[in-house]
Amino acid sequence: MNYLTNAGALILQFAFGAIVTLFVLRLLAEACRADFHNPICQFLYRFTNPVLRPLRKALPNIRRVNTAALLIVLALECLKMLLLAALAGVAPSPLGILVAGIAETLDFFLLTWIVLVFVWSLMSMLSTDRYHPVARLVSSLAEPLVRPLRGRLTIGGLDFSPTAVLLGLFLARILIVQPLSDWGMRLLLGA
């Protein structure tokens, strides 16, 4: 790849990452039942609802999972992989695009949770305003992951449950996402 191709790939990844972030946060906010009166949740709802409303008629929620948002995230990740392959001058296979898109989607969710749990644990160590909209949203999204281990990994007054959750998320990236991504790239490139 030359410098211009690398710059184009960076811009594509940034643009798709920003859009996917909004849909992932919307999906997680609904699944974790975040406070709808939070201004950030209202922004996510207003921005994503015009796209999701028509799809939700055909794709109902499964329990608390917004399947329309999940489909949009997967479609955006597949489109990103297709555009990156075209930018590199590769004729990708459809199965490779799908597998790589699934790997990217899973990786994005895991990275989002890593960031949320890290920020949540950092906010709990610092004296932050618990009623700030960002703090409330981060708390409501990270709490379900940490809650099952909370209080069980306490040593000397320190709770290591966020550390265990982060370790589990990093291991999932290494043991699940990376092999899936490698397989998708082999299929994508036809190797």
Give mean pLDDT in consecutive 10-residue pieces for the chain, a chain of 191 residues: 84 94 93 87 91 88 89 95 88 90 96 94 80 86 86 74 92 96 87 60
Quote the pLDDT of residue 35: 85
Could you tell me the two tokens for 14? 């940034």
Full-model pTM:
0.89
CA gap 175, 100 in Å, rounded: 15
What's the farthest any 2 CA atoms get from each other in the chain? 57
Phi, psi at residue 66, to the nearest 5°?
-80, 100
Quote the pLDDT of residue 109: 95
Question: Which of 147, 177, 176, 175 has the alpha carbon at shortest distance from 162?
Answer: 147
Residue 25's identity, in one-letter code, is L
Quote the pLDDT of residue 27: 93
Helix and strand numbers, DSSP H then E, in the chain: 7, 2
Quote the pLDDT of residue 57: 86
